[in-house]
Every structure is written in structure tokens, then in C-alpha cells.
Amino acid sequence: MASSDIQEIKALNAKYNFSLDEGNADAWASCFTADGAFHAAINGAKPKGTEQLQAFVPTCIESFGTMYHLTTNEIISVDGESARQKCYLQFFTKKDGTLDGYICVYDDWLKREKGDWKYSRRDVATKDKFTHLKD
């Protein structure tokens, strides 16, 4: 496993985070393979494929409002053109005067396509939630 693979996968995580936080559906969906799937924590949603993934971004914004995704503690194993990753997600939201914080875990399957790492499947599980009501 090359250290460049690790850095490229971490860069994919950052692109995913910023794309979703900025509401850029095309950029977010491009983090996945064409048949990629996201098993979400929002009402059990499981969008699959580019079109469903793109359509899912407005659902996230509607559900959470302003979002900030931060991934940490990545454990990555690469096997040729495939990889697995497990990492923490610290997820903060602000909607209607309420600030929420979530601790989640991502479980990822990745494939290298045309030289770029992409998620073929990404599962997220919420471990804890914290709420702070603003005045």
C-alpha cells in the first residue's frame, strides 16, 4: 500500500465533506462510482447511482440546514484497485436556532477508477448526538 493511496483517499474524504457542506450535488456525487451507494442516517435512505446521489443533497440540506462534516481517525487498507476505510465523522448542524453535533462512523468500500479513488459504497452509523438550543 503506497502512502500516496492513503493521501488520495483522505483528499477524497475532504472533497466529499466540502461538497456536501456547500450543497454542490454534482461534486458530491462525483465522489462515488457511477453505481455507488450511500447508506444514510436520514430515514434509512440508500441513494444509489449518480442521479439518486445528486438528488439526495437537497434532502440533506432540508433535514440539517447548515452542515459541517469532519472526518478523523482513518483506518485505510488498500488491495490493488480496491480499498476499505473506517473513520469517525464529527458532524455539526445548525437549523432553526438549534445547534446539533453528531458522532458517527463511516464504513467505506472504495475503487480506483481511471486513476482516482471513489466510494463504491459508504455506510454511516450515528453513535451519539448533542443538542444546544440557541436564544
Q: How far apart are CA 112 and CA 25, in angstroms?
A: 21
* CATH number assigned to the domain comprising residue 108: 3.10.450.50
The percent of residues above 70 in pLDDT, for the chain, comes to: 97
pLDDT band, very low/low/confident/very high, at 25 (cuts 50, 70, 90): very high
Residue 64 in contact with residue 48, Cβ under 8 Å? no
Looking at the predicted structure, is the pLDDT value of residue 132 above 90?
no
Burial of 12 (0-12, 13-18, 19+ CB in 10 A): buried
- What is the domain count for the chain? 1
Residue 41 in contact with residue 125, Cβ under 8 Å? yes
Query: Tell me, what's the pLDDT at 1?
Result: 57
For range 39-54, the mean pLDDT: 90
The parent domain of residue 56 ranges over: 3-133
Q: What is the pLDDT of residues 105-130, one digit of tens each?
A: 999 999 999 999 999 999 999 999 98
Q: What is the pLDDT of residues 72-103, one digit of tens each?
A: 999 999 999 999 999 999 999 999 989 999 99
Query: Tell me, what's the pLDDT at 19?
Result: 98
Q: How far apart are CA 61 and CA 68, in angstroms?
A: 11
The pTM score is 0.93
* Arithmetic mean of pLDDT over the chain: 95
Q: How far apart are CA 52 and CA 46, in angstroms?
A: 9
Burial of 134 (0-12, 13-18, 19+ CB in 10 A): exposed
Looking at the predicted structure, is the pLDDT value of residue 3 above 80?
yes
Label the pairing between strands 98-113 and 116-133: antiparallel
